[in-house]
A and B are shown apart, each in its own frame.
Chain A
Amino acid sequence: MLEIRALSKSFGGVKATDNVTLDFPDGSLTAVIGPNGAGKSTFFNLITGALKPDSGQILLNGVDLAGRSPPEIVRHGIGRAFQVASIFPSLTVQETMLTAVGADQRRAGVMHRRFPLAETRDRAEHAMELLGLASKRSRTAATLSHGDQKLLDIALALVLDPKVLLLDEPTAGMGTEERWRMIDKVRELWEKQKITVVFIEHDMDIVFKIAPEIVVLCYGRILATGKPDAVRRNEAVIEAYLGTEHHAEAAI
């Protein structure tokens, strides 16, 4: 279980994350929404160690990870994919996966074996299969399509067997059809892997369709949390973010 306790972070005078307390139970699927500048990415950056919080706790199964370095946090089981696919352009899909698994097995510093261990290969293979990248294994990452690069980014997080997977806008920059395919994939991964998934998403149709739990952030604070229906009817959320359109839809 991932528990966020009174997490705060300011940049200058701006409170990007303001006293946020949240629980993400094991195996939950949660969408984080909010207008631009609501502090969604900052929230992810704090959890993964890219930023150090000013105060508060980040408890993963009782262990406080606040302020630790990204490699340490990853090793504790919080994986992450990025808004702009963050990959290794000159490595092939397979090399990327093998090296990532190697790092997870504490073999990143091994200097002698040229060929991967069977276990390393199996895990890499499994992740490639899961994300449908197996047929593109010998393509260099830079030559992949945008969608495949996003998948590779997710595969990189997933191949480390995380307990919690944070996805920063998995559908960013995609066309409508591609979006739905990606989000189906995310849902499928969540169901198959039985891990905790938290994702940031802008497309409200997607959020309300697939996320069992929703967190709404605004100016670094939690505006609302709960089931899609409750969030959709929440007055504060409608005013700050959704506008009347979704309210109207909800009414219908």
Chain B
Amino acid sequence: MTELQAEQASKVLDNSVTQAKPRPNRDALIALAVFVVLALLPMLTSSKFLLDFVIRCAAYGLFATSLNLLVGYTGLTSFGHGMFFGLGAYGFGLMMQKTGVAVPVAFVATLAITFVVALVIGAICVRLKEIYFAFVTLAFQMLIHSTILSWVSLTGGDQGLRGGIPRPPFLGIDLSNHLHLYIVSCALLVIGLFLMHQIAQSPFGYTLRMIRDNATRASFIGIDVWRAKLTIFVLAALFASTGGIIMALFVSGAYPEFAYWTISGEGIFINMLGGVTTFLGPMVGTALFLILNDTVTRVTEYHGIVLGIVILFFAIGLRKGLMDFVIEWYVQRRERSGERAS
């Protein structure tokens, strides 16, 4: 399925842009419902594994969905998006270890740092076209990674941030309590997805689609392409950084791998698995990726080969992600039943 077909297909499911009647709270209600279900999960199961899985889904899901805002919606294929994941993890971890401020303060400060870094890197990168954009973002990723490795006194070098990240309780929330961490991760995931969905469906979201389709034409209807690209680059970085913060809280540390290019690669992989033409594709891809990773690494040490085969299957066999596939199937079924009815 081409991107175009998928876009048409997803329109059947979501034609809210063009609807005359406002439905401002529907998204918020769905987000709330999802959060409630996730929050009730610990009552149904005591499986720490499952709750851990959801926390990891939150970290990777925010990261992968934010990458889709760049790749799928704007047509900016960043190979260095993982740097903001690493930046979030290290920024938050260091802030908690060195300054001992409250968790929310460190959270906001980390996002502020990410904002500034993404603004500078974005201002340099978003002018570049396609492959140049991809490789310069990759270069910045490597720059940040080698800074982490070589600034041993601050970052612990290749050992990462050791000794655990202190998590003093705030507002009755104690993040060293597994259940509390789980609930907070779910909340951050749901809020993050809600905000990103708002962005995707807003006039700005459609501006991004225009830039993806035909940036030259977009500039001839008065859109400042550079500014729009920079805005989404910075926003996506903030969500990726939030994912990194969740990861740092989860493992109570930060490791150079969080900022290595393989994280960006996994982000792209997740997007290919789930599909970039639907908003929830990357979320589905995240769950698939983590399940694959967990099961395969348990069975064989050659998990790289297995993951490689899977990606080949999706890229060459299906030529689309899982969600694209599901939606295409759904649309075809609807059309068929429509024909039968008429």
Contact = CB atoms under 8 A, between A and B. Distances in A.
Nearest to B206: A99
A74 B222 contact: yes
A33 B48 CA distance: 75
Given A111-B204, A115-B22, A95 B219 contact: no
B17 interface: yes
A82 to B, nearest CB: 8
B198 interface: yes
A110 B8 contact: no
A121 B18 CA distance: 9
A22 interface: no
Contact of A87 (B11, B15, B16, B214): B214
Interface stretch (A24-32, A100-108, A190-198, A227-235): A100-108
B201 A114 contact: yes
Interface in A63-110: 69-71, 74-75, 80, 82, 86-92, 94-96, 98-100, 102-104, 107-110
A109 B214 contact: no
Interface string B198-222: 1101111111011011101111111
B207 A109 contact: yes
A138 interface: yes
B222 A111 contact: no
A171 interface: no
A149 to B, nearest CB: 12
Contacts, number: 137
A142 B213 CA distance: 11
Contacts of A107: 203
A115 B220 contact: no
B43 interface: no
A143 B2 CA distance: 13
B144 to A, nearest CB: 27
Interface residues of A, number: 44
Interface string B210-248: 101110111111111101100100000000000000000
Contacts of A88: 209-210, 213-214, 217-218
A103 B7 contact: no
B326 interface: no
Contacts of A114: 16-17, 22-24, 27, 198, 201-202
Interface in A172-193: none
A111 B236 CA distance: 14
Contact of B220 (A74, A96, A142): A74
Contact of B4 (A74, A87, A121, A140): A140
Interface string A155-181: 011001000000000000000000000
B217 A90 contact: no
B20 interface: yes
Interface string A43-60: 000001010000000000
A143 B21 CA distance: 27
Contacts of B209: 88, 90-91, 95, 99
A110 B203 contact: yes
B80 to A, nearest CB: 24
Contacts of B7: 90-91, 140
A140 B8 contact: yes
Interface in A138-160: 138, 140, 142-143, 156-157, 160
7 contacts: A91-B210, A95-B209, A98-B203, A99-B209, A110-B202, A111-B198, A113-B203
Interface of A: 48, 50, 69-71, 74-75, 80, 82, 86-92, 94-96, 98-100, 102-104, 107-116, 121, 137-138, 140, 142-143, 156-157, 160
Across the A-B interface, the 9 shortest Cβ-Cβ residue pairs = A88-B213, A90-B7, A74-B222, A99-B206, A102-B203, A86-B217, A108-B207, A70-B219, A111-B202
Given A71-B220, A91-B206, A108-B203, 15 more contacts: A80-B220, A82-B217, A88-B210, A88-B213, A88-B214, A89-B4, A89-B213, A95-B18, A103-B222, A104-B222, A109-B231, A111-B204, A114-B16, A140-B8, A140-B11
Interface of B: 3-4, 7-8, 11, 15-24, 27, 198-199, 201-207, 209-210, 212-214, 216-225, 227-228, 231
